[in-house]
Chains A and B, each alone.
Chain A
Amino acid sequence: MITAGVDIGSVSTETVILDRDNKVLAYNILHTGAYSTRIGRLSVLKALKMCGLKINDVGCIISTGYGRANVVNAKKNVSEITCLAKGVNFIYPGAMTILDIGGQDSKAIGLGENGEVIDFAMNDKCAAGTGRFLEVMAGVLGVKIDSLGSFSLHAQRVVNISSICTVFAESEVISLIHEGVPPEDIAKALHDAITTRALSLLGKVGIKEPVVFTGGVAKNIGMVKAIKNRLGLKVIVPEEPQILCAIGAALIARQLVTQHIDVMPDKIATR
């Protein structure tokens, strides 16, 4: 029996379908938008369609992410930190630390020897140092968010941006533009500013090698380079860094199926 994990994040929604041997049958990444219940449903149906299956073929669905309470036919919802730890440990056994930078969250997770969460830290409630910060700054620089990372690799000199508050940093970026600083240098400075923030987050849980870098921001080559340079440790970036949380959710669903726990949707914990 197949299982599914649905991760409804602030920016993107991912669904992963696993077969009985925990192999990924299908996955998709959709833009969350304003209707998380609808996107959760759509994401599951699309993933099922990709592997030619129907909703009744799914043994158990576990939801996670910000919109986890809105996947109405999930057996239960599990926090994204627990799911991410599960997913990372499954793909990279032996990983000790996770850095996850998503749309509005950044998280550092310390893992135990068996992949269990032993400590975690999250950013404060503002979006400083997250994907949203980079999105706003890319807009100011007139660069597409997808190419901001590679754009920053062309930087020639070091520029400092002292603030990572999205509002204040935007003012700083505009000042730098008017001082004639090349946008490539500014882009690199922005990545460095986020890296500083990420390192302080990692410091709270203790950095142990190997570090796995996940989340949408891990697709940004400029960020990956900055993190690797500053950490000086082995940093693993998954091929598809956005779906590990959904993989973890699908693995938890598999556990429930294996333990013969009643997998019919009966309870969603949050309001």
Chain B
Amino acid sequence: MTSKRQCNGDRRKSEQRKALVDTTATEKRCASRREYNRRANLLGLPNFLWETIPRPAVAWFSPYVPFELILAAGVFPFRMMPIPSAIGRSYNCMHHDICPYVLNCLDTIVAHAGYLDGVVIDTNCDAMRRMYDAVRIYTKIPFVHILDVPRVVDGLRLQYFKEQLQELAQSLEKHFKVDLSHEVLQSAIKFCNTTRRFLAELSDRRKNGNFTVSGSEVQNTVKRSMDTPLAQFNEKLERFLESSSNRRSISESGPRVAIVGGYFDQEFMTDAIEDYGGSVVYEQVSNGAIHFDYLVDENKEPFLALSERYLNKIPTARMVNNDKGYESLIKGIKEYQASGVIFYSLKFCDQNLIYYADLKRKLTKANMPVLFLESDMVSDNLGQIKTRIQTFLDMLV
């Protein structure tokens, strides 16, 4: 009798456990993660590895550096996209309450100085200028150049920036002992324009309600365009665009979100948006539309054409007048049919924080919901950020 009761009790317990522990969901999650990893690397390019980068290599840090000049000098240009980690040696070189992107870049530069033949730093913000000082003082990188970028766009500044670019070209010629002729520069410009066209075409596949590529795929591909030799990248992306014109639409009916801000390298945020049923359809960030929108005029004198393209493209928060940035955001929201905006800023980024106040006022007036997210790239409170994203998506439904 006792044993029968015990047996029934055990069976009940086992049924309860079975009802409570459903492993299917976990399995599905893992499968979806594997699927995401496979999909995000659209072009199947190998990961960036310091040990295998083509030499000589020169790093750049902001969307105001015309990397066409570096490419024309026969040097491999790549954007520094540090893997966020606990800040180490850069805390010895700079104060702590400063842009985490700059701190991470400096850490990476110090750790991999042996693989770097040069850096081109621009006067994007004060943190960048401090990084220029720190790189000069604390590292032995052979080529360290600072490029002064105006904050206002007019005829005088366009001419000034053109002269700055000519100065950079001369420094590159002198250091790498090359002749940077107009023909070579024209050809580099054409090459980079091709990359921009391909990236824009890829991003456009999310336009007008279409969705044949996901936000994480586009973001990853744009990143790869910045740290892969362009010949290899262009060939791969062109092949993908040709072969995937009939790619089936990724089923999505959730809210479509645009991301605005500075440097955006927070894959987990895009993952969270996609996991919670939303999708990222437009990125007006320095490694998004700001990088590939607007082409360099191939018919003009190359230095003037570069000066015009880089000062007239979608502005970042550093520029005095950001009306053009707002206009292109509104255009992007309409074309990509976004129903909400996530503004992303790095901690201590005064420029973006000031820009946000103005942008929020304008977007609220236009009845466009905005979510502000801030990150120090390293020790983010993932739980809180996920809560904010999930609630925001709920609000948009």
Contact = CB atoms under 8 A, between A and B. Distances in A.
Interface stretch (A14-22, A77-85, A208-216): A77-85
B232 interface: no
Nearest to B33: A271
Interface stretch (A25-33, A169-177, A233-241, A262-270): A262-270
Interface in A84-133: 105, 116-118, 120, 122, 125
Give chain A's interface secondary structure class. Answer: loop
Nearest to A67: B383
B22 A270 contact: no
B388 interface: yes
Given A72-B23, A81-B387, A269-B276, 18 more contacts: A41-B20, A44-B20, A45-B16, A79-B390, A79-B391, A81-B391, A82-B391, A82-B394, A117-B391, A117-B395, A125-B379, A265-B24, A268-B25, A269-B275, A270-B275, A271-B29, A271-B33, A271-B275
A54 B386 CA distance: 32
Interface in A230-271: 265-271
A125 B28 contact: no
Contacts of A78: 390, 394
B277 interface: yes
Interface residues of B, number: 29
Question: How extensive is the interface on chain A, given as a class?
Answer: 20 to 34
Contacts of B379: 125
Contacts of B271: 271
Contacts of A80: 387
A167 interface: no
A55 to B, nearest CB: 5
Nearest to B274: A269
Interface of A: 41, 44-45, 54-56, 66, 72-73, 78-82, 105, 116-118, 120, 122, 125, 265-271
Contacts of B387: 66, 79-81, 122
Contact of A125 (B24, B25, B381): B381
Interface in B12-69: 16, 19-26, 28-29, 33
Nearest to B385: A125
A70 B134 CA distance: 45
B96 to A, nearest CB: 15
A105 B385 CA distance: 12
Contacts of B24: 265-266
Contacts of A66: 383, 387
Given A41-B20, A73-B19, A79-B391, A268 B383 contact: no
Contacts of B386: 270
A79 B271 CA distance: 16
Contacts of A271: 29, 33, 271, 275
Contacts of A82: 390-391, 394
Q: Which of B21, B25, B271 has the most CB of A within 10 A?
A: B25
Nearest to A48: B16
